[in-house]
Amino acid sequence: MSKQSNLLLRNGRFYFRTRVPKDLVVIIGKKEIKKSLGTSNRSEAKLQLSIEQLKAEEIFESARKELNHSLPLPISPLKKVDIERRIILWHQDEITKHAIDDDALRINSSAEDRLQIIDTLREELSAFDGGDESQYANSIQNKVKVLFPELPIDEQKLNIDAQSLVHQSLIEQIYRRLERFGDSYNRTPFQLFSKHHEQVMQLQPQESQSPSITFGVLITKFKIAKKSDGVTDAALKKYKIPFDFSLELFGKDKPLSTITTEDCRRFRDELLKLPSNARKRYPQLSLLESIKANTKHSKSTLSIVSINDNLGYLSATLNFAVREGYLNKNPCEHVPSLKKKKKKEDSRQPFSESALQKLFQAPIFTGCVDDEWNYKSTGTNNPRRHKFWVPLISLYTGMRLNEICQLFSSDIECIDGIYVIHVREDYDGIKKLKNESSERIIPIHNQLIKIGFIDYSNKIKSLKHERLFPDLTKSAQGSYSANFSKWFTRLLNSEKLKDKGSCFHSFRHNFRDALREAQIIKEIGAALGGWKVGDDTMEQYGAGYKLKKLNTNLQKITYPSTDLSFLFQKNRTIK
């Protein structure tokens, strides 16, 4: 891999970035390794880059060892044609990844940078094609072990064949990259990697996927595929209960082809008996054992919504099996979800006018002993930290809780004289957004400015804090919003405002109602709130509304029955 392509310049600082091999994503837990090199000097960055490259290789090597011990082995032996086909598929995947990276490099690099990239690639080509074999032999052998974990060591002929083809692939990859940067060569590709041969290999039947692949193997393959597709650990956690429960119910060694619609229906019906929070209530028992234990205690069981969700996750897994060719059809496809009549009072609701007024009369806003353990007690202190600001920001911007809690101080900007909050992901992957439409620029409401939000932001910046709310703590799952959400629920309870449907997300409903009251058109409201309007092709054109237009509309938002003017003159403490 070209070291030059691992060196990136963002906002005047150099970063190291390397893509995690696709087969190792499930072990390492992310698609890329990214790290700031802590300098804006290119020469210093290049020195540090070599160190980070070695660290990354150590991580990959450790992950490969773990992967080789965890992956199930195919039942049928490999043949030469199987090896060729698998290498072709891997080769094409690598070519695609390089193309994506190289396109980004070409766009963001100067002519001088591109010449440096070409020089680096030529050096790599010289090392692989005609250089000292001992310099690259270990790398190729390790790649063969990853691609063919089931290849017996004593199959010397197949091992040699695989190593030779991997070697050829690496050379072809470098040639393709050189051509992409305008350095062409008049040569004939290796036979296996000629376009005609690649097409022929793809037309041949895929390597035998045994019809007796087990349900446990399917789940392993599903996790690996999802991780390689960029699904995060947090997103995969929703599959834990359905995976654990189905593995207990079916057995991990049950042949996938023997799973029937009746089995899937039984999965749904048994979930009806599963106690809620089974792992916490019965930590020493399996899920099936917790069902038996729960019959004696008559504790609450999973909700209909949870059961239907888990049934959907099982169906999604079996759909994956169909797409991958392990099954002809999804046996869960025609198992109906359980029906429950949704009551309006069960859904999330906006705070009532009286509830909003009462909430912002709580001691945390009017004066408390402190904003840690004594926020419910009236006092003379007026601390202005996250517990004070986060609810107010949501009320006047409609931002989601996690969007607010993960803000950086640099996300508060002044553009063309308008103070804004920039809702965005960061390069290092610390901040996450719900979807593409969530990324947006929101003007800051004049009410927030009067209360002192810009003063707070400037103070945080002067203290060199990266995060806007540096005192917010992470949950065990790595979320900044989870602990705040629990605290806010306790606040609602202490103020006797915890009705059905009321939670922090209620602010977002209040904001949506305020948009309607101000007669702000749907498209502008969506731009401010990060909602997706529709899928029309027309919406994909243009750059969106100008900031001045967004600001004019946002300032129309009012909450007439909620008087916060008492906050304007308070001498608050910024920590």
DSSP string, 295-308: HHHT--B--HHHHH
Instruction: Please state whether beta strands 13-19 and 412-415 pair in parallel, antiparallel, or not at all (unpaired).
Output: unpaired
- Tokens 């608050």 found at: 572
With 0-12 CB in 10 A as exposed, 13-18 as middle and 19+ as buried, what is 445?
Answer: buried
Give the CATH number, domain containing residue 448: 1.10.443.10
Q: Are 337 and 264 in contact (CB under 8 A)?
A: no
User: What is the tally of helices (H) and strands (E) in the chain?
Assistant: 24, 6
Instruction: Please list, in sequence order, all residues whose beta carbon lies within 8 angstroms of the beta carbon of residue 454, skipping any fewer than 6 positions away.
Output: 412, 419, 444, 448
Rounded to an integer, what distance in angstroms lies between the CA atom of residue 30 and that of residue 87?
24
Residue 169, Cα to own-chain centre: how many angstroms?
31
In 87-154, beta strands by DSSP E: none
Domain's final residue, options 71, 94, 114: 71
Domain's final residue, options 71, 99, 129: 71
If DSSP states are collapsed to H, E and C, what string results for 329-368?
CCCCCCCCCCCCCCCHHHCCCCCCHHHHHHHCCCHHHHCE
The reply to whether 370 and 472 lie within a common domain is yes
The reply to whether 381 and 521 lie within a common domain is yes
> 2 in a domain, yes or no?
yes
The reply to whether 48 and 178 lie within a common domain is no
Residue 12, Cα to own-chain centre: how many angstroms?
26
Q: Are 365 and 357 in contact (CB under 8 A)?
A: no
pLDDT at position 443, please? 95
**Positive or negative torsion for Cα 103, 109, 111, 112:** negative
- Tokens 């990697």 found at: 193
Token pair, residue 391, equals 């609810």
Instruction: Please list, in sequence order, all residues whose beta carbon lies within 8 angstroms of the beta carbon of residue 327, skipping any fewer than 6 positions away.
Output: 256, 257, 318, 321
> 333 in a domain, yes or no?
no
Q: Are 514 and 559 in contact (CB under 8 A)?
A: yes
pLDDT at position 203, please? 44
> 345 in a domain, yes or no?
no
Helices (H), 406-479: 446-451, 453-462
- Tokens 């929101």 found at: 442
Residue 62 phi/psi, 5-degree rounding, is -65, -40
> 572 in a domain, yes or no?
no
Rounded to an integer, what distance in angstroms lies between the CA atom of residue 319 and that of residue 311?
12
In the chain, the number of structural domains is 4
Rounded to an integer, what distance in angstroms lies between the CA atom of residue 117 and that of residue 550?
43
Rounded to an integer, what distance in angstroms lies between the CA atom of residue 495 and that of residue 412?
31
The reply to whether 557 and 446 lie within a common domain is yes
Q: Report which of 309, 334, 331 is spatially closest to residue 321, judged by C-alpha positions.
A: 331
Task: Count other Cβ atoms within 10 Å, centred on residue 566.
Answer: 11
Q: For residue 10, what are the β-bridge partners?
A: 13
Q: Which domain covers residue 488, as residue numbers?
A: 353-567
> 476 in a domain, yes or no?
yes
Packing angle, helices 304-323 and 240-250, rounded to 10 = 70
> 117 in a domain, yes or no?
yes
Element (H, E) at 195: helix 195-203
> 440 in a domain, yes or no?
yes
Rounded to an integer, what distance in angstroms lies between the CA atom of residue 87 and that of residue 82?
9
Rounded to an integer, what distance in angstroms lies between the CA atom of residue 427 and that of residue 425?
7
From residue 268, alpha-carbon distances to 215, 263, 331 in Å are 17, 9, 13
The reply to whether 494 and 562 lie within a common domain is yes
Token pair, residue 210, equals 């045994």
Q: Are 411 and 419 in contact (CB under 8 A)?
A: no
Q: What is the pLDDT along the chain (575 residues), one digit of tens a residue?
A: 444 567 777 777 788 888 888 777 777 777 788 888 878 887 777 777 777 877 788 788 777 766 665 554 444 466 778 788 888 888 887 887 777 777 767 666 677 777 888 888 888 888 887 767 777 788 788 888 777 776 665 567 777 888 888 888 888 888 888 888 888 788 888 888 876 555 555 544 444 444 457 898 889 888 888 877 777 777 788 899 999 999 999 998 888 888 999 999 999 999 999 988 888 888 888 999 888 888 776 678 888 888 999 999 999 999 888 888 788 889 998 888 887 655 544 466 889 888 999 999 999 999 999 988 889 999 999 999 999 999 999 999 999 999 999 999 999 999 999 999 999 887 666 777 877 778 899 999 999 999 999 999 999 999 999 999 999 887 766 778 888 998 999 999 888 888 767 889 999 999 999 999 999 998 899 999 988 765 554 354 445 678 999 999 999 999 988 888 888 755 455 44
The reply to whether 21 and 157 lie within a common domain is no
Instruction: Please state whether beta strands 13-19 and 418-423 pair in parallel, antiparallel, or not at all (unpaired).
Output: unpaired
Domain's final residue, options 147, 176, 208: 208
Residue 15 phi/psi, 5-degree rounding, is -125, 150
The reply to whether 93 and 134 lie within a common domain is yes
The reply to whether 362 and 294 lie within a common domain is no
The reply to whether 303 and 384 lie within a common domain is no
**Positive or negative torsion for Cα 313, 318, 319, 320:** positive
Output b/e per residue, 310-342; b: 16+ Cβ within 10 A: bbebbbebbebbeeeebbeebbbeebeeeeeee
Q: Are 188 and 132 in contact (CB under 8 A)?
A: no
The reply to whether 503 and 366 lie within a common domain is yes
The reply to whether 168 and 112 lie within a common domain is yes
Identify the DSSP state of 413: E
Q: Are 559 and 510 in contact (CB under 8 A)?
A: yes
Token pair, residue 26, equals 């499930």
The reply to whether 164 and 66 lie within a common domain is no
From residue 441, alpha-carbon distances to 527, 541, 545 in Å are 8, 18, 10
Rounded to an integer, what distance in angstroms lies between the CA atom of residue 406 and that of residue 372?
20
Q: Are 456 and 44 in contact (CB under 8 A)?
A: no
pLDDT at position 198, please? 53
Rounded to an integer, what distance in angstroms lies between the CA atom of residue 310 and that of residue 316?
10
> 225 in a domain, yes or no?
yes
From residue 34, alpha-carbon distances to 37, 57, 458 in Å are 10, 13, 29
pLDDT at position 204, please? 47
